[in-house]
Structure 1
């Protein structure tokens, strides 16, 4: 599509008005209309020209436009049927570049739709954002996706990137950081959205790195769920119901009187590795 044709796309506000769209609170929708801001978000993963992007909840297609302008092929999953006519118009404006799947992102196989090496870029619906992210982080490693660029409530974003000892540090930080690099790439003021949400937002960029050897995601997931499920308690209390956890703490040399928020990502990984190692092969503490 030529630059002139792109320039002739109607403003997003006109698209929303023409199709009678209103953000649905039940679907966790808040529309971004600032096209310069959307272009900045689309630039976070790097050069997307000729690459595939998987987008969740495109709504009227604001971020979708920016991704298409960046040269990406976009596979967008939208469960709100009211938005499909607006997305169809955008698909017609970018022939062969946009595939819209009318479905629930929690139910589809993103890998099958987007293929290996796709980037995931989305202004995630608030009500499913964390669940989707944990699902992508639980993929086999190295994962099928090349990067995650995701809009969250700022509090959730801070939970993803927090270091140990920080008030936001918890299970989500460990699951994101043990085999990936996570950073807040941009903060977005609530006034940028229509309608404005009650909270600030932020875009998190996550890139996968090699996973530590001999550590299973499911083991780490159970360990952190137990440790942070009762975060005010000492580890000796919060982990006593998880088989092998207290023994692994001892082998790793971690004081069971510590609380979960003081345990680093590397220490959680060490404990999970020991839990997955047969007792006869474990080092002596």
Structure 2
């Protein structure tokens, strides 16, 4: 059997008795054309390594294999493993499935140099993104991120200052990567259909500013946006050296966190790191 011989995904799901588990944050994506579009977002994948989290019954996995990729997939729901095994048989030597929790995987050892492409389970998506963005080594072990999120989360990743969506996630994403919304995804594309819209975000590494570390920036943004309605002089008073950094940089301490640009957060973090 080849990939072209595989039955429709709905048939695979029915044959294996699969259903999306709310406790695992699952929503199955069945639209083959849409899945192919997502697989094209990172660029040509022929012969490239792709790391996928939460493949479920393998819809996106099938599209990635169809694009010529070699796929390493991590799935914690063992009910999906037989369907994924059939995919592996249709693409010999190009699919490795690992049963386990993605948050506990040594990704660098497993998939260094891979594109990460995933319809992320809703309940771990943000945690995984922050982990991938916060890697100490830069450029990172991954080549690009192509990730499905709830639309609200996607908008927070690409948000600009002085907007309602702008916050910690935007700063952590944008200080050393280029992030964009690659395509919107209507909720009707999923089974079961979620109550919210979704979007695919594409992120590629950029040059890291000198003198800044993820640890310092995470602490700074955590304090600043943890009390986002308060002035900086209040929200940052518990972070040693932060108020002095504001004074040194000439940043008005009566401003609120959402008014600061990514560059201003980087400047404060650089001052704190000295």
> When the two structures are superposed, what TM-score results if normalisation uses the length of structure 1?
0.95
Structure 1 segments unaligned to the other structure (5+ residues): 278-285
**Residue aligning to 1:282:** none
Distance in 1 of aligned mates of 2:124 and 2:105: 13
Task: Tell me if 1:59 matches 2:60.
Answer: no
C-alpha RMSD of matched pairs (Å) = 0.8
**Residue aligning to 1:197:** 194
How many Å apart are 1:111 and its aligned residue?
1.6
Task: Tell me if 1:78 matches 2:75.
Answer: yes
* Deviation >6 Å, runs of 4+: none
Over residues 19-71 of structure 1, what are the superposed CA-to-partner deviations in whole Å (9 max), with x where a residue is unaligned?
Answer: 00000000000000000000000000000111100000000000000000000
Task: Tell me if 1:172 matches 2:185.
Answer: no
The partner residue of 1:88 within 85, 109, 115 is: 85
Structure 2 segments unaligned to the other structure (5+ residues): none
**Residue aligning to 2:230:** 233
**Residue aligning to 2:252:** 255
Distance in 2 of aligned mates of 1:33 and 1:276: 47
Over residues 196-218 of structure 1, what are the superposed CA-to-partner deviations in whole Å (9 max), with x where a residue is unaligned?
Answer: 00100000000001100001110
| Aligned residue pair count | 273
The partner residue of 2:44 within 43, 47, 51 is: 47
The partner residue of 1:12 within 9, 13, 20 is: 9
Task: Tell me if 1:223 matches 2:183.
Answer: no
The partner residue of 2:115 within 116, 119, 122 is: 119
* Partner-residue secondary structure (3-state), 1:184: strand
How many Å apart are 1:7 and its aligned residue?
2.4
Distance in 2 of aligned mates of 1:110 and 1:67: 19
How many Å apart are 1:158 and its aligned residue?
0.3
Distance in 2 of aligned mates of 1:7 and 1:226: 52
> When the two structures are superposed, what TM-score results if normalisation uses the length of structure 2?
0.99
Distance in 2 of aligned mates of 1:6 and 1:121: 19
